[in-house]
Amino acid sequence: MEGHLFEPSLYTVKGIAILDNDGNRILAKYYDKNIFPTPKEQKAFEKNLFSKTHRANAEIIMLDGLTCIYKSNVDLFFYVMGSSHENELILMSVLNCLYDSVSQILRKNVERRAVLESLDIVMLTLDEICDGGIIIDADPNSVVSRVALRTDDIPLGEQTVAQVLLTAKEQLKWSLLK
Protein backbone atom coordinates (compact mmCIF):
# COMPACT_ATOMS: atom_id res chain seq x y z
CA MET A 1 0.00 0.00 0.00
CA GLU A 2 2.97 2.35 0.36
CA GLY A 3 3.25 4.86 -2.41
CA HIS A 4 -0.37 4.21 -3.38
CA LEU A 5 -2.33 7.44 -3.63
CA PHE A 6 -5.93 7.47 -2.48
CA GLU A 7 -8.53 9.60 -4.17
CA PRO A 8 -9.88 12.25 -1.81
CA SER A 9 -13.44 11.56 -0.74
CA LEU A 10 -16.14 13.36 1.19
CA TYR A 11 -17.11 9.99 2.74
CA THR A 12 -14.74 10.43 5.64
CA VAL A 13 -16.60 8.68 8.47
CA LYS A 14 -17.22 4.94 8.25
CA GLY A 15 -19.10 4.70 11.52
CA ILE A 16 -19.93 6.32 14.85
CA ALA A 17 -20.77 4.41 18.01
CA ILE A 18 -21.58 5.10 21.65
CA LEU A 19 -21.09 2.10 23.92
CA ASP A 20 -21.68 1.72 27.65
CA ASN A 21 -19.02 0.59 30.12
CA ASP A 22 -19.89 -3.08 29.48
CA GLY A 23 -19.33 -2.67 25.74
CA ASN A 24 -23.04 -2.76 24.91
CA ARG A 25 -24.34 -0.54 22.12
CA ILE A 26 -26.27 2.56 23.13
CA LEU A 27 -26.20 4.04 19.64
CA ALA A 28 -24.29 3.16 16.47
CA LYS A 29 -24.43 4.19 12.84
CA TYR A 30 -22.37 2.65 10.07
CA TYR A 31 -22.15 4.56 6.82
CA ASP A 32 -20.23 2.13 4.61
CA LYS A 33 -22.32 -0.96 3.86
CA ASN A 34 -19.23 -2.80 2.56
CA ILE A 35 -17.46 -2.80 5.91
CA PHE A 36 -20.02 -4.27 8.33
CA PRO A 37 -23.13 -5.10 6.29
CA THR A 38 -25.02 -6.95 9.04
CA PRO A 39 -25.89 -6.01 12.63
CA LYS A 40 -24.17 -9.23 13.76
CA GLU A 41 -20.87 -8.13 12.19
CA GLN A 42 -21.29 -4.63 13.63
CA LYS A 43 -21.83 -5.98 17.16
CA ALA A 44 -18.83 -8.33 16.84
CA PHE A 45 -16.67 -5.38 15.77
CA GLU A 46 -18.00 -3.25 18.66
CA LYS A 47 -17.21 -6.01 21.21
CA ASN A 48 -13.68 -6.32 19.79
CA LEU A 49 -13.24 -2.54 19.72
CA PHE A 50 -14.43 -2.20 23.30
CA SER A 51 -12.19 -5.01 24.55
CA LYS A 52 -9.15 -3.31 22.98
CA THR A 53 -9.98 0.22 24.19
CA HIS A 54 -11.81 0.11 27.53
CA ARG A 55 -8.60 -0.09 29.56
CA ALA A 56 -6.29 1.73 27.15
CA ASN A 57 -5.06 5.22 27.88
CA ALA A 58 -4.97 6.38 24.27
CA GLU A 59 -7.26 8.13 21.81
CA ILE A 60 -6.64 6.14 18.64
CA ILE A 61 -6.42 2.52 17.54
CA MET A 62 -6.12 0.74 14.20
CA LEU A 63 -8.54 -2.18 14.13
CA ASP A 64 -9.83 -4.33 11.25
CA GLY A 65 -8.42 -1.86 8.72
CA LEU A 66 -10.13 1.12 10.35
CA THR A 67 -8.75 4.13 12.17
CA CYS A 68 -10.79 4.38 15.37
CA ILE A 69 -10.70 7.54 17.46
CA TYR A 70 -12.31 7.28 20.89
CA LYS A 71 -13.05 9.06 24.13
CA SER A 72 -14.55 7.79 27.37
CA ASN A 73 -16.49 9.56 30.09
CA VAL A 74 -18.03 8.11 33.28
CA ASP A 75 -19.80 5.03 31.84
CA LEU A 76 -19.77 5.81 28.11
CA PHE A 77 -17.35 5.30 25.24
CA PHE A 78 -17.63 7.47 22.11
CA TYR A 79 -16.08 6.13 18.87
CA VAL A 80 -15.60 7.57 15.39
CA MET A 81 -14.27 5.22 12.70
CA GLY A 82 -12.67 6.08 9.38
CA SER A 83 -10.65 4.20 6.78
CA SER A 84 -7.01 3.31 7.48
CA HIS A 85 -5.77 6.21 5.31
CA GLU A 86 -8.11 8.82 6.82
CA ASN A 87 -6.77 11.94 8.53
CA GLU A 88 -6.97 11.36 12.29
CA LEU A 89 -7.41 15.07 13.02
CA ILE A 90 -10.56 15.21 10.92
CA LEU A 91 -11.96 12.15 12.71
CA MET A 92 -10.99 13.72 16.05
CA SER A 93 -12.89 16.90 15.16
CA VAL A 94 -16.02 14.77 14.54
CA LEU A 95 -15.53 12.96 17.86
CA ASN A 96 -15.01 16.21 19.76
CA CYS A 97 -18.05 17.77 18.12
CA LEU A 98 -20.22 14.75 19.01
CA TYR A 99 -18.97 14.65 22.60
CA ASP A 100 -19.19 18.43 23.17
CA SER A 101 -22.65 18.63 21.57
CA VAL A 102 -23.98 15.77 23.73
CA SER A 103 -22.34 17.35 26.77
CA GLN A 104 -24.07 20.69 26.10
CA ILE A 105 -27.44 19.06 25.41
CA LEU A 106 -27.24 16.96 28.60
CA ARG A 107 -25.91 19.96 30.58
CA LYS A 108 -22.54 18.28 31.18
CA ASN A 109 -24.25 15.15 32.56
CA VAL A 110 -22.68 12.79 30.01
CA GLU A 111 -23.58 9.37 31.36
CA ARG A 112 -25.53 6.33 30.19
CA ARG A 113 -28.86 7.11 31.84
CA ALA A 114 -28.96 10.71 30.62
CA VAL A 115 -28.05 9.66 27.05
CA LEU A 116 -30.78 6.98 27.05
CA GLU A 117 -33.36 9.48 28.37
CA SER A 118 -32.46 11.91 25.56
CA LEU A 119 -31.67 9.32 22.90
CA ASP A 120 -33.89 11.01 20.29
CA ILE A 121 -31.94 14.26 20.62
CA VAL A 122 -28.58 12.43 20.66
CA MET A 123 -29.57 10.62 17.44
CA LEU A 124 -30.56 13.94 15.87
CA THR A 125 -27.19 15.35 16.95
CA LEU A 126 -25.43 12.47 15.19
CA ASP A 127 -27.42 13.20 12.02
CA GLU A 128 -26.56 16.92 12.18
CA ILE A 129 -22.83 16.12 12.42
CA CYS A 130 -22.57 13.38 9.82
CA ASP A 131 -24.82 12.34 6.94
CA GLY A 132 -24.04 9.13 5.11
CA GLY A 133 -20.39 9.37 6.13
CA ILE A 134 -20.01 12.98 4.97
CA ILE A 135 -19.14 15.46 7.72
CA ILE A 136 -21.75 18.23 7.69
CA ASP A 137 -20.78 20.17 10.79
CA ALA A 138 -17.96 19.98 13.33
CA ASP A 139 -18.94 22.99 15.45
CA PRO A 140 -20.75 21.89 18.62
CA ASN A 141 -22.44 25.28 19.11
CA SER A 142 -24.08 25.29 15.69
CA VAL A 143 -25.09 21.61 16.06
CA VAL A 144 -26.66 22.26 19.47
CA SER A 145 -28.47 25.36 18.22
CA ARG A 146 -30.07 23.32 15.42
CA VAL A 147 -30.87 20.29 17.59
CA ALA A 148 -32.00 21.85 20.84
CA LEU A 149 -35.18 23.51 19.63
CA ARG A 150 -37.44 24.16 22.57
CA THR A 151 -40.47 21.89 22.42
CA ASP A 152 -42.80 24.81 23.31
CA ASP A 153 -41.95 26.52 20.01
CA ILE A 154 -42.61 23.50 17.77
CA PRO A 155 -46.13 22.95 16.40
CA LEU A 156 -47.67 19.68 17.59
CA GLY A 157 -47.51 18.15 14.10
CA GLU A 158 -43.73 18.57 13.97
CA GLN A 159 -42.91 17.32 17.46
CA THR A 160 -41.38 13.89 17.99
CA VAL A 161 -43.40 11.27 19.85
CA ALA A 162 -41.00 11.62 22.80
CA GLN A 163 -41.61 15.38 22.95
CA VAL A 164 -45.39 14.95 22.81
CA LEU A 165 -45.28 12.33 25.60
CA LEU A 166 -43.04 14.55 27.72
CA THR A 167 -45.41 17.52 27.28
CA ALA A 168 -48.41 15.32 28.13
CA LYS A 169 -46.61 13.94 31.20
CA GLU A 170 -45.80 17.48 32.40
CA GLN A 171 -49.42 18.61 31.92
CA LEU A 172 -50.73 15.55 33.76
CA LYS A 173 -48.30 16.12 36.62
CA TRP A 174 -49.39 19.74 37.01
CA SER A 175 -53.11 18.85 36.82
CA LEU A 176 -52.62 16.28 39.62
CA LEU A 177 -50.72 18.78 41.77
CA LYS A 178 -53.49 21.42 41.61
Q: How far from 93 is each of 75, 97, 124, 150, CA to CA, in Å?
A: 22, 6, 18, 27
150 or 89, greater pLDDT:
89
The predicted model scores a pTM of 0.79
Structural domains of the chain ordered from first start: 13-147 (3.30.450.60), 152-178 (no CATH)
CA gap 9, 164 in Å, rounded:
40
Q: Sorting pLDDT into bands at 50, 70 and 90, what band is 1?
A: very low
Q: How far from 76 is each of 22, 59, 72, 113, CA to CA, in Å?
A: 9, 14, 6, 10
DSSP state of 55: S
Helix axes of 140-147 and 119-129: crossing angle, nearest 10 degrees: 130
Kindly report, residue by residue over 20-30, the tens digit of the pLDDT.
999 999 999 99
The count of other CB atoms within 10 Å of the CB of residue 165 is 11
